[in-house]
């Protein structure tokens, strides 16, 4: 289900937006080959031989003609941490309605909504050149409201903070996170991976560090695909500015597009391979596309962690 960003922008507060996104996604699952997946997400699991019939959800059976039993808290408990890149490059947008940061914040809010429905404990970390804010994983209603409040502040500060120049040191932040998390957790990282190429190996090392500490990792690479992957600009000369350093470069996109796409593809493929070797999940997310891919990737990963 494609949700109009203009409509979502009119909705307040953020938890209502998250609910709208998730319910639209679940509605889409009902009409897709994944029929039944969303029922399972909604705090149920398939009936297994030997389960007590008193726990069968007969309303779910009436809708699906399948037996599901209600989950109990012990069956769904998971510790998860959403890790959000708030560096200056995340404020970029050109073709998309929303900046990468605004898009990522709505994914984060939607994941928190889904975790709360599944009674999972959820924490939040924000970082640029260092970890800016950190909230431990908890499942209480007051804690979830606190996380939404912090994400709302990031949205409110978008115009003001986009004028600052804040670099990104993802590797340092993730190494620090690996040291800070004392219990096995599900770590979901939302970043555009805008690091110097020289920092690539250190970034991979930080992913390995998280895995070495026995944390599960799902990394969402948030990008405006048309501009940042394809360099698909009209004919003419453009002045590009590095949002993290302020340096400028005059470019005719048509002249460098082919080589640019090749280099970006090589970098991305190398990163995907490294994540796969570390047994960390990697998903590329386009800010001009619906949220469904990110939410489905989360559900698929969450399902494996039962």
Domains recognised in the chain with CATH numbers: 74-304 (3.40.50.410)
Distance, CA of 78 to CA of 201 (rounded, Å)? 30
- In angstroms, the first-to-last Cα distance of the chain is 27
pLDDT in tens, 128-164: 888 899 999 999 999 999 999 999 999 988 766 656 6
Task: Please give the share of the chain, as a percent, with pLDDT higher than 90.
Answer: 48
Answering whether pTM is above 0.85, one says no
| Entry field: residues in the chain | 306
Closest CA to 158 of 241, 224, 88: 88
Q: 64-68, 122-126, 199-203: which has the minimum mean pLDDT? A: 64-68
pLDDT band of residue 242 (cuts 50, 70, 90) is confident
Closest CA to 152 of 13, 9, 5, 11: 13
What per-residue confidence (pLDDT) applies to 197? Answer: 63
Distance, CA of 24 to CA of 160 (rounded, Å)? 31
Q: In degrees rounded to 5, what are phi and psi of residue 5?
A: -55, -35
Cβ atoms of 161 and 55 within 8 Å: the answer is no
Cβ atoms of 264 and 229 within 8 Å: the answer is yes
pLDDT band of residue 51 (cuts 50, 70, 90) is low
What per-residue confidence (pLDDT) applies to 10? Answer: 60
pLDDT in tens, 197-239: 667 788 999 999 999 999 999 999 999 999 999 999 988 899 8
pLDDT band of residue 38 (cuts 50, 70, 90) is very low
Rg (CA), the chain: 20
């Amino acid at each position: 289900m494609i949700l109009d960003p203009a409509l979502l922008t009119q909705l307040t507060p953020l938890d209502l937006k998250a609910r709208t996104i998730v319910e639209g996604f679940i509605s889409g699952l009902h009409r897709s080959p994944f029929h039944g997946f969303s029922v399972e997400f909604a705090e149920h699991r398939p009936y297994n031989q030997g389960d007590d019939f008193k726990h069968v959800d007969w309303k779910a059976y009436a809708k699906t003609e399948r037996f599901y039993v209600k989950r109990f808290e012990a069956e769904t408990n998971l510790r998860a941490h959403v890790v959000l890149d708030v560096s200056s490059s995340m404020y970029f947008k050109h073709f998309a309605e929303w900046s990468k940061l605004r898009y990522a914040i709505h994914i984060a809010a939607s994941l928190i909504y889904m975790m709360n429905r599944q009674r999972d404990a959820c924490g939040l970390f924000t970082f640029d050149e260092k970890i800016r804010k950190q909230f431990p994983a908890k499942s209480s209603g007051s804690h979830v409201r606190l996380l939404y409040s912090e994400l709302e502040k990031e949205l409110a500060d978008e115009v003001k903070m986009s004028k600052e120049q804040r670099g990104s040191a993802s590797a340092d932040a993730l190494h620090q996170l690996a040291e800070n998390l004392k219990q096995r957790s599900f770590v979901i990282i939302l970043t555009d991976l805008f690091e110097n190429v020289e920092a690539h190996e250190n970034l991979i090392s930080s992913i390995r560090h998280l895995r070495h500490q026995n944390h599960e990792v799902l990394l969402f690479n948030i990008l405006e695909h048309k501009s940042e992957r394809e360099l698909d600009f009209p004919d003419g000369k453009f002045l590009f500015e590095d949002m993290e350093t302020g340096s400028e470069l005059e470019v005719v996109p048509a002249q460098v597009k082919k080589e640019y796409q090749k280099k970006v593809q090589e970098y991305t493929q190398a990163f995907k391979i490294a994540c796969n070797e570390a047994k960390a999940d990697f998903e590329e997310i386009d800010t001009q596309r619906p949220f469904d891919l990110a939410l489905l990737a989360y559900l698929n990963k969450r399902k494996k962690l039962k």
